[in-house]
């Protein structure tokens, strides 16, 4: 008797699914603009009914809260990376989507910023009822070259770029057209130099830290700290309240060399600061100090 592959989820396999839901997998390093891309896609949907799976590496599902559409069916996968942990959560999320497949046309799957696209792809490919349509990788036009040369994350970013099937530069409005053309050339050379079958180790281990409290920040104090953060910090994002404007919550987005603090709708009840930091090693103290 020939060996047969064993389905990952025998429960789901008992009844063969009658749907074949296309999936677009969206990957890209921390801060590459995946959530923004998804929001644009949902806005210009022209009637397509989407399910959105959002994988936040941190424990708090900030990205899921940033998905603006109320019409899309959104499922959050937080506190881990879909390429190397969270197998049970992916199973639950895909089953949840499968349960309402008759009301859906398409799935957008946002991988965590640290995920390796090929590994996430395997997760999707193994699920009955879902069909991987395309894998899109985003790269921040302002930062990608320095990231590839980074001592800690360089190898990992290089891998994400080389594995990408379809690569789009984000934040191209912040660089001029010549630079974008130069980036495209650079990327083509990078991919060509990688050879056909590169051997890769799993991506480095990343750490996350939550900052949750109720004390509103003094804007100037917060901004001063954001100018000179711990060098181990790779990403900081979430919602904060400012003493100067308690009626609104503010969205804080921080990457090395880029940050923004913008009003993000009326204050919520209760008004709680919820921030997630992603770091390259565990930190002794808090990423922000009071």
Residues making contact with Zn ion (CB under 5 A): 81, 83-84, 115
Nearer CB in complex with Zn ion: 156/171: 156
Least CB distance to Zn ion at residue 231 (A): 23
CB of 288 to Zn ion, least distance (A): 26
Residue 81 or 139 having the CB closest to Zn ion: 81
- Closer CB to Zn ion, residue 205 or residue 268? 205
**CB of residue 53 to Zn ion, shortest distance in Å:** 15
Residue 173 or 201 having the CB closest to Zn ion: 201
CB of 207 to Zn ion, least distance (A): 13
Helix axis angle, 154-163 to 117-125, nearest 10°: 50
Nearest approach in angstroms of CB 184 to Zn ion is 27
What residue has token string 């959530």? 35
What's the min distance (Å) between Cβ of 86 and Zn ion? 9
CB nearer Zn ion, residue 90 or residue 104: 90
- Which CB sits closer to Zn ion, 23 or 142? 23
User: What is the nearest approach in angstroms of Zn ion to the Cβ of residue 203?
Assistant: 6
DSSP string, the chain: ----PPPS-HHHHHS--S--EEEEEEEESTTSSHHHHHHHHHHT-TT--EEEEEEESSSS-HHHHH---SSSEEEEEESS-TTTS-HHHHHHHHHHHHHTGGG-SEEEEE--TT--HHHHHHHHHTSTTEEEEEEEEEEETTTHHHHHT-TTTHHHHHHHHHH-SEEEEE-GGGS-HHHHHHHHHHHHHHHHHT-SS---PPPPP-EEEEEEE-PPBPHHHHHHHHHS--TTEEEEEEEEEETTEEEEEEEEEEETTEEEEEEEEEPPSS--EEEEEEESS--SS-SS--
Structure tokens at 173: 């409005």
Beta bridge partners of 239: 251, 274
Nearer to Zn ion among residue 84 and residue 261 (C-beta): 84
In the structure encoding, which two tokens stand for residue 230, read together?
């711990």
């Amino acid at each position: 008797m020939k060996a047969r592959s064993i389905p990952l989820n025998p429960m789901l396999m008992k009844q063969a699914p009658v749907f074949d839901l296309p999936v677009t997998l969206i990957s890209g390093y921390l801060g590459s603009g995946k959530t923004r891309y998804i929001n644009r896609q949902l806005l210009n949907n022209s009637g397509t009914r989407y399910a959105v799976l959002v994988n936040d590496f941190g424990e708090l599902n900030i990205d899921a809260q940033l998905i603006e559409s109320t019409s899309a069916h959104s499922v959050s996968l937080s506190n881990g990376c879909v390429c190397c942990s969270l197998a049970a959560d992916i199973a639950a999320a895909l089953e949840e989507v499968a349960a309402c497949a008759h009301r859906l046309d398409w799935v957008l799957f946002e991988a965590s910023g640290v995920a390796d696209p090929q590994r996430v792809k395997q997760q999707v490919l193994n699920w009955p009822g879902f069909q991987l349509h395309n894998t899109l990788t985003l790269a921040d036009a302002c930062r990608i070259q320095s990231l590839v040369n980074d001592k800690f994350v360089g190898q990992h970013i290089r891998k994400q770029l080389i594995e990408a099937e379809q690569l789009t530069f984000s934040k191209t409005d912040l660089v001029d057209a010549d630079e974008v053309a130069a980036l495209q050339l650079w990327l083509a050379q990078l991919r060509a130099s990688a050879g056909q079958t590169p051997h890769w180790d799993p991506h480095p281990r990343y750490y996350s830290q939550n900052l949750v409290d109720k004390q509103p920040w003094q804007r100037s104090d917060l901004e001063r700290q954001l100018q000179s953060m711990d060098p181990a910090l790779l990403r900081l994002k979430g919602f904060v309240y400012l003493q100067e404007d308690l009626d609104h919550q503010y969205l804080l987005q921080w990457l090395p060399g880029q940050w923004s603090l913008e009003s993000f709708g009326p204050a919520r009840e209760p008004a709680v600061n919820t921030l997630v930091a992603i770091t390259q090693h565990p930190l002794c103290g808090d990423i922000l100090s009071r």
